[in-house]
Structure 1
Amino acid sequence: MSDALFQATLIGFVSSEKHNYAFTSCLTRVYNAHNFIRDICVFKYRLMMALAWLVVPFVCLQRIMTGKDSFATFKARFGFGQGRSANARLIWLHAASLGEFNTLELLLPALSEKFSTYDLLITVSNKLAFERAKNLASGRVHVEIAPLDFSSVINRFLARWQPSCMITIENEVYPNRIFKAAQQALPIIFVNARMSAKSFATWQKNPRLAQQVFSRISYCFAQDQNAFERFSALGVSRERLNMLGNLKQFQEAVPVDHPDLQAVQGVFPYDKTLCVASTHKGEDQIVLDAFARAKKTRPDLKMILVPRHPNRSAEIAALIAAHGFSYATRSRSELPDQADDIYLADTVGDMSLWYSAAATTFVAGSLVSVGGHTPYEPAVFGSAIIHGSQYSNFQAIYERLVENKGSLQADTGEDIAAAWVCLLEPAARSTQIEAAQATLFDSNDKDKMLDEITSKIEALL
């Protein structure tokens, strides 16, 4: 069970209407009489976190057996990491996964320069981001797996590192982490903050808990107007909010030089290949139907299919076989040959290879109620974008892309096939890519934006 799953379970409990009324009333009387519980929702959250300890041994074993954690990383999740800083000045930076870590990398040089007398602690939530982050470790930069949101774990973590402030990149709002940081009077800052409609709706079901959590945020740089309004509605006062814009607009493509990329490009022509990025259950059938339709008129087309969760590989392979397509599977150390139609790229951490290998990308997570995935990464690699209509995680930017003709929206196999065939025309594809990059990327205000962020952090320290 992941840190995020713990939070989802607990917030679900808080929002339930099936609580025993007498139990709640009793606790409320204790609160009124003894000033023991400041807020009943906060107490229930902490109670559920305490109950979650009952499943911890099983979760530990499962994650270690499946390779999602090692013994060392699991120790760190419970606050028993080995890292320490001799510097009394330490800035804690949290980036949940690779997407958030990519944003952090844009901010890190400015932070390092502005706060040259501080050490920097980077925490991440998953193993892949941890492997990337370790490359930044140095005398001043420390890297560790993020602590789970148990009160005792956060206490251990804070006692060991003693940070001067806590900065969260984009998302992951954990109540105990915020409560404990606030108790120590640490500035709590969110940078490039975003919040999906789904997360917002969940927090709205728990207004008292939300108020306790979000009112403790010292400052929030929202990446768009939707995030600004949602953080405000949940308890961040508007004078502590700034709709600064999205740091991802300053991303630059890092040239990819990998033998597997060269091997794929040797048999999958760039302009005839579609990358289907980060599919979720229910989407593979639709994109395979689109592929079958497109191949009726263009039998030379190829597809790189990248599932969001590699453990779905066997299920997807069965769908591919049912359509009669020939394919190779990356997790089996296979590379495609000339006869293959599809490369099932069922590994993690390789998206830059596949964006580089395909002239067009279908950004998945947008055909089902997941909320979509970022359009910045395919665009920065110069891949034209197709997506579905369910993009609430990045609503503002997708709306701008569609309005500026920087992407094509398609929700059915027939429409996806038609969009792809349209983008096979070099002029149409080039025009769309230029529109997407003009919409998404603007380096003119980079220094100004970074200076505004670092200056506010400096003022709060």
Structure 2
Amino acid sequence: MNKEKLSLRLYQILILLLVPVLLLVLIVRSFSQREYRQRLTERFGWLPSNIKPGGIVVHAASVGEVIAAKPFIDKLLITYPDLPITVTTFTPTGSAQVKKFYIDKVQHCYLPLDISFCVHLFFRLLKPKAVVLMETELWPTLIQRCYKSNVELLLINGRLSEKSLKNYKKLSWLIRPALNKFSAILCQSADNAEHFIEMGANADLVKNSGNLKYDISVTDELQNKISQLQKFIPEHRRLLVVGSTHQGEELPALAAYKKLKNDNPELLLVLVPRHPERFSTVTKLCEEQGFKTVTRSSKQPIIDDHEVWVIDTLGELLSVYALAEICIVAGSFSDVGGHNPLEPALFSKPVLVGENMANFKEITQKLTVANGIVQLEQNSELAVKLHCLLTDQELAITIGKNALGVVLANQGATDKSIETLQSLLK
């Protein structure tokens, strides 16, 4: 047995030994989100009976990846109208997002655990012509199965940060062989492409195709959602939206809002927690802090007494950004590394982020150069910077227009990804 096969076998044995732990994690998470204990058979590769084989599989792990992959999937449906398109996720929230976007236009199931017999069963039932993975979804057993089955394997929107590169280098014995089994690796930026090559990918496999996250647009469906949401908000209220918050990020936002609201009585703080299991926790936190809070799920119209609106529903972040006066993109006030600032930029909104935007380094740099974002040097500056944007309307409008300009100037990654897939399937 050569070194590569031994490495893969050791990995597979380790994953197999971890199955009880993985199942326990799913069960524990199901206490706060029952969807984690549903459809468990799919986790082991057993697919619903109505799924058609012989098409293209696109894996987008969770909500963020599903949203990023949407332009690609939309064009895939147009390019291959006669092939079944299967979109897989890992998380229930990602699953819900797929269903919300596509209803019955695509097939959907969970990607199985990266265990030999699970992946084997998945492939036997689905018989894909091609598998498309997103960003940093590198699953050695799945990759090996594609390679052995002569299934085209494409990585799109490839992302490998400096931090991830350091961590992956510790597993180079496993990751390097896996990378070189891809048919092509399309990266978000030149930096990411260099990191994949440094990790061990053959240079002729790696290309900088741009970032799919720029390929967003205001669809008719999104415009309808915006119109529906607008009915709940009085015209005189000014929305300060904090999108995709994680634990520990709501309190600084509430503290900043408390400093601003006396001089801005029409201001409404809108909090959009990243994970559904935190919806009730965030609502309770706001109430404990003394704010008159209303939830989106209550379907109550906003009245003058309301100070905080918690969006405890899925798939409405973009719609809320569209109605905001200022958008704060969270994940950047903690060690998460930030979330996508292009989403509010699509609506020409002034975007403010915290210190840590490591996950969106290249995008943040482009927005900064174009004066299309406000990034805090210290998170404690939040209230001060918000005050500047609230009082200087011309500045806020300029930043928003500049942000939209960056979005429009960098579109095109979807077309390049589709063209690459087409060349592989000829």
Same fold (TM over 0.5): yes
Shift of 1:62: 4.2
**Corresponding residue for residue 460 of structure 1:** 424
Could you say which residue in structure 2 is the equivalent of 1:21?
Answer: none
Q: Which of 280-289 and 127-136 deviates more? A: 127-136
Matched residue type, 1:422: C
| Matched ranges for 1:59-70 at <5 A | 59=25, 61-62=27-28, 66-69=32-35
Q: Does 1:110 align with 2:75?
A: yes
Answer yes or no: is the 8 Å Cα contact 2:97–2:314 preserved in 1: no
CA spacing shift, 1:286–1:249, aligned 2, 3 Å: same
Q: How does 1:225-374 map to 2 (within 5 A)?
A: 225-253=190-218, 254-257=222-225, 261-266=229-234, 269=237, 272-313=238-279, 315-317=281-283, 319-321=285-287, 323-330=289-296, 336-374=302-340
The residue that corresponds to 1:5 in the other structure is none
Give the deviation of 1:153 after TM superposition.
0.7
Residue among 375, 382, 391 paired with 1:409 = 375
- Please say which structure displays the higher CA radius of gyration: 1
Aligned residue pairs total 420
Q: Is 2:342 the partner of 1:376?
A: yes
* In 2, Cα distance between equivalents of 1:98 and 1:313: 16
* 1:96 aligned partner, one-letter code: A
Question: CA deviation digits over 1:318-360, x for unaligned, max 9?
Answer: 5434543322234556554311211122333221232133111
Residue in structure 2 matching 1:432, options 399, 405, 409: 399
Match in the other structure for 1:31 = none
Equivalent position amino acid for 2:420 in 1: K
The separation in 2 between residues aligned to 1:116 and 1:196, in whole angstroms, is: 35
The answer on whether the counterparts of 1:376 and 1:440 sit within 8 Å (CA) in structure 2 is yes
Counterpart of 1:128 in structure 2 is 93
Cα RMSD after superposing both structures: 2.8
Q: Contact 1:197 / 1:392 at 8 angstroms: preserved in 2?
A: no
The answer to whether the 8 A contact 2:56-2:84 is kept is: yes
- The equivalent residue for 1:182 is 147
Matched-pair contact (CA < 8 Å) for 2:243–2:274: yes
Deviation of residue 361 (structure 1)?
A: 0.7
Shift of 1:95: 1.6
Query: Structure 1 residues 361-370 or 166-175, which shifts more?
Result: 166-175
Structure 1's 407 and 276: CA in aligned 2 closer, same or farther, altered over 3 A?
A: same
- Which residue type is aligned with residue 331 of structure 2? G
- Check 1:228–1:108 CA distance in 2 against 1; reply closer, same or farther (3 A cut): same
2: CA distance, partners of 1:158 / 1:84: 15
Q: Deviations over 1:179-230 (max 9, x none)?
A: 2212222221011222344433321222212212222222111111222122
Aligned partner letter, 1:433: G
1:401-422, Cα deviation, whole Å (9 max, x unpaired) = 1121101112556522222222
Deviation digits for residues 46-92 of structure 1 (CA, Å, limit 9, x no counterpart): 222111222355445445554442766222221111246666x4221
Q: Residue by residue, what CA displacement relative to the aligned partner does 1:104-134 show, whole Å, maximum 9, x if unpaired? A: 3312343344445533222122223323434
Three-state SS of the structure 2 residue aligned to 1:148 is coil
1:318 and 1:137 map into 2 onto residues whose CA distance is 33
Mapped contact 2:354–2:379 kept (Cα < 8 A)? no
Native 8 Å contact 1:268 1:302 kept in 2? no
Task: Determine helix, strand or coil for the equivalent of 2:333.
Answer: coil
1:423 and 1:174 mapped to 2: Cα distance?
44
Determine if contact 1:68/1:127 at 8 Å carries over to the other structure: no
Q: Give unpaired runs (5+ residues) of structure 1.
A: 1-34
Change in CA separation of 1:128 and 1:321 when aligned onto 2, cut-off 3 Å: closer
What secondary structure does 1:292 align onto?
Answer: helix
Unpaired runs of 5+ residues, structure 2, are none
Alpha-carbon shift at residue 289 of structure 1 (Å): 2.0
Q: TM-score, normalised by structure 2?
A: 0.88
- Aligned positions of 1:32-111 closer than 5 A: 35=1, 38=4, 41-55=7-21, 57-59=23-25, 61-62=27-28, 66-69=32-35, 73-83=39-49, 89-111=54-76
Q: 1:196 to 1:83 in 2, by over 3 A?
A: farther
CA distance in 2, matches of 1:451, 1:379: 21
Q: CA deviation at 1:451?
A: 4.6
Judge conservation of contact 1:178–1:188 (CA < 8 Å) in 2: yes
Q: Secondary structure at the match of 1:273?
A: strand
3-state DSSP class of the match of 1:276? strand
Instruction: Read off the aligned partner of 2:86 and give its amino acid letter.
Output: L
Match status 1:208 vs 2:173: yes
The answer to whether the Cα contact below 8 Å between 2:268 and 2:308 also exists between their aligned partners in 1 is yes
Q: Report if the CA contact (8 A) 2:215-2:414 is conserved.
A: no
Q: How far apart are the structure 2 equivalents of 1:258 and 1:459?
A: 38
Shift of 1:138: 5.3
Please tell me whether the aligned partners of residues 196 and 371 of structure 1 are also in contact (alpha carbons under 8 angstroms). no
Counterpart Cα distance in 2 of 1:329 and 1:428: 31
Superposition map of 1:387-402 within 5 A: 387-402=353-368
1:296 Cα deviation from its structure 2 partner = 4.6
In the aligned structure 2, how far is the partner of 1:112 from the partner of 1:344?
35
8 Å CA contact 1:284–1:316 kept in 2: the answer is yes
Q: Which position in structure 2 is the counterpart of 1:385?
A: 351
TM-score by length of 1: 0.82
Partner of 2:124: 159
**SS, match of residue 291 in structure 1:** helix
Identity value in percent:
25
